[in-house]
Structure 1
């Protein structure tokens, strides 16, 4: 197992994804990606506005 495979395994075990079907795992990962995009996008917008004020 290399470093990347170990991180994927740890992610699957931590969130219990190993017991889901492939399509359920895919839906969960899509949801995680969308939520992370939302957080980073709005965080960047807030940080840019914060820097523009000061």
Structure 2
């Protein structure tokens, strides 16, 4: 296994995704990506607004 395959395997084993069907893994990963997008997007907005408000 190369490095990327090991990391994917570790991710699947850590969260128990190895025992799910392909469509359940797809759904879980989609939900995780959407949640991460919301967190990063709102963090970026908060940081930029704070910068505009307090540092200027």
Q: TM-score range by the shorter chain?
A: over 0.9
Give unpaired runs (5+ residues) of structure 1.
none
TM-score by length of structure 2 reads 0.94
Q: Shift of residue 2 of structure 1?
A: 0.6
Larger Rg: 2
Corresponding residue pairs, total: 54
- TM-score w.r.t. the length of structure 1 is 0.97
Deviations 1:6-48 (A, max 9, x none): 1000000000000000000000000000000000000000000
